[in-house]
Amino acid sequence: MNTAMRLPCQERPDDLWFADAPDEVALAQALCRGCPVRRACLEDALDRGERWGVWGGEIIHDGVIVAVKPRVGRPRKDSTAA
């Protein structure tokens, strides 16, 4: 790899790759799309057992790739629960 090349994850704050806001997660994924090490990044993250974040353009939540990051906070109360 060219040592002068800066990858998207090196040019943005670390917390972008672990964001909760859907628009920030989408930005992280978009930035990954053109990255030359995207596939290796994802494979390495899975091999390491990463639990959270955007890796190689994919969302990892609780150690698995998911299509959409779950919302943070408490789940809604069931209307039948007392």
- pLDDT over 70 for what percent of the chain? 83
pTM: 0.79
9 marked as part of a ligand binding site: yes
10 pLDDT higher than 70:
yes
Alpha helices in the chain (DSSP H): 8-11, 22-33, 38-48
12 marked as part of a ligand binding site: no
35 pLDDT higher than 50:
yes
Please give the average per-residue pLDDT across 15-25, as a whole number: 95
41 marked as part of a ligand binding site: yes
Instruction: Domain ranges for the chain, please list them.
Output: 13-66
**pLDDT tens digits, residue range 44-69?**
999 999 999 999 999 999 999 999 88
32 marked as part of a ligand binding site: yes
